[in-house]
Structure 1
């Protein structure tokens, strides 16, 4: 079993790391205003080699990682699941879906550039990218811990797996709300934290959008902390599940601090990029916790169905 899954573990883990890096690089493209560093697609100023200009290099680096590193890795991972693990649906299905999402993401990236970065398409590009990352995380976790365990006694709505899934979807919603802030250029609408411009009630549409993101963060954050402290307190101590829950919770708390420093620093590009990268890291950790709670190797633990 261990030997038979070595390569799928290797490729899926490497894919997750590379796609995470791609998401972070995409965030750098956004916060540095490099989205139109190459105004055409797939070429850059009609050439396969970008000009030696700051924004063009950043934008083309993002494209290079996506096409030369990530795409082959994801396709190879999918091929491997079909060749060696075709009977394991929790490997085959998400790896196949990841290839479909990869294709749509590449096309949407081209549309984003060719339509000169309209907000709705930019936000959709980010949303699809996070879903793409999530599919690969599922493949990775299953390759290590086995298939999801939807069998036997049904899950209670108040069980840990259900709560963890809801928490992960909440994190996804929080990321989307942040992308709306960026897409509508509402990032700098609130120049103080935790209040918006030192008031409780926003006075403009843009500040309302920004405050909306903060409110989503409060709601999702409270629920997330509740779920993760549950996982830390009652999770399986023999396989590190409780530690992973704690790490996920700590990562989210760090992300809150980073969000505050984004405002306090005057929205500096490196802080914005760090904030975007941390959001993807929180998404990955919380998703791993949720998926692990559903794997059959975890189903004997009291935290799962109680």
Structure 2
């Protein structure tokens, strides 16, 4: 494994941990435990209180990730002759880091308004995707003979983007106080459709979106069987992650948004999104083959 790939992979893992820790911050309500920024209660080392320490740990990890991203961008630039395609996503990650720092400060100063929280989450997930793309593009291309259909590339991209959108919708549900707007699962107030008043429509939209994205994920996993094995292996993991995510979504309701469960729900969503980003990246690194349907065909079909 070359140096750029190692660094990008390490930074991707750290960025993923940052997403999960951010979910714990939101789930525990620790987002404003440090009322100032970049210090915490006017100090570098904060008071030793549980919520304060969770928020402070989130900021500390964010600082470490920031330093790693700068190193990745420098190494990517120096390796531009060997891995020219990896330079752009590395510098996109660097730019998103700046945006994320600004949004992190605004999150504190604007008291966690839904728009800022969702923008912070959107940038964080795009940041993770940029680092994963850098990792994939700093990896040697697929073995000779492996091909992918244009239709599968498009399908994988649509599935990844729809998953990204669903994660942002989940962030809006959480930050708008709609997490328990439907207090039961899978129904909403014992009905198939939510009440017309209140924020239950957000929770219902999230559930409906999850159903739609789930269909895309299953179709993508099935379609991957007709592609080269290194794509099929990545796609094969997504249905299991989807099942776990649905279960955690239900447990979220049943436990009345227990912080550990909400953090796990976001963490598994980020893992699913990460797998899809890798799938898209690998599919674009694989040569196009003969034009075939992205959808699985019945046995014996010509």
Q: How high is the TM-score relative to the length of structure 2?
A: 0.91
Provide closer, same or farther for how the CA distance between residues 305 and 264 of structure 1 changes in structure 2, counting only shifts above 3 A: closer
User: Which residue in 2 is equivalent to 1:200?
Assistant: 192
User: Which residue in 2 is equivalent to 1:182?
Assistant: 174
1:89 Cα offset (Å): 3.6
1:136 aligns with 2:131: yes
Q: Is the 8 A contact 1:234 1:303 kept in 2?
A: no
Provide closer, same or farther for how the CA distance between residues 19 and 273 of structure 1 changes in structure 2, counting only shifts above 3 A: same
Deviation string, structure 1 residues 221-269 (Cα, Å, up to 9, x no partner): 11221112211x22323xx322211112211121111111111222211
User: Which residue in 1 is equivalent to 2:50?
Assistant: 54
Q: Is the 8 A contact 1:192 1:263 kept in 2?
A: yes
Matches within 5 A, 1:219-234: 219-231=212-224, 233-234=225-226
Larger RCO, structure (CA 8 Å, separation 6 or more): 2
User: Which residue in 2 is equivalent to 1:91?
Assistant: 86
Moved more, 168-177 or 262-271: 262-271
Query: What is the rounded CA distance, in whole Å, between the counterparts of 1:88 and 1:305 in structure 2?
Result: 29
Query: What is the rounded CA distance, in whole Å, between the counterparts of 1:165 and 1:21 in structure 2?
Result: 24
Moved more, 44-53 or 220-229: 220-229
1:84 Cα offset (Å): 2.0
User: Which residue in 2 is equivalent to 1:13?
Assistant: 9
Give 1:265's match in structure 2, choosing from 233, 255, 273.
255
Name stretches of at least 5 consecutive residues in structure 1 with no aligned partner: 148-154
Provide closer, same or farther for how the CA distance between residues 301 and 65 of structure 1 changes in structure 2, counting only shifts above 3 A: farther
RMSD over aligned CA atoms reads 2.1
Matches within 5 A, 1:1-306: 6-67=2-63, 69-86=64-81, 88-146=83-141, 156=150, 159-203=151-195, 204-231=197-224, 233-237=225-229, 240-296=230-286, 298-300=287-289
Provide closer, same or farther for how the CA distance between residues 142 and 305 of structure 1 changes in structure 2, counting only shifts above 3 A: farther
Query: What is the rounded CA distance, in whole Å, between the counterparts of 2:292 and 2:77 in structure 1?
Result: 33
Provide closer, same or farther for how the CA distance between residues 220 and 133 of structure 1 changes in structure 2, counting only shifts above 3 A: same
Q: How high is the TM-score relative to the length of structure 1?
A: 0.89
Query: What is the rounded CA distance, in whole Å, between the counterparts of 1:144 and 1:301 in structure 2?
Result: 24
Deviation string, structure 1 residues 180-212 (Cα, Å, up to 9, x no partner): 101111001111111112112211331111001
Query: What is the rounded CA distance, in whole Å, between the counterparts of 2:290 and 2:164 in structure 1?
Result: 27
**Structure 1 SS opposite 2:188:** coil
Name stretches of at least 5 consecutive residues in structure 2 with no aligned partner: 143-148, 296-302
Provide closer, same or farther for how the CA distance between residues 12 and 192 of structure 1 changes in structure 2, counting only shifts above 3 A: same
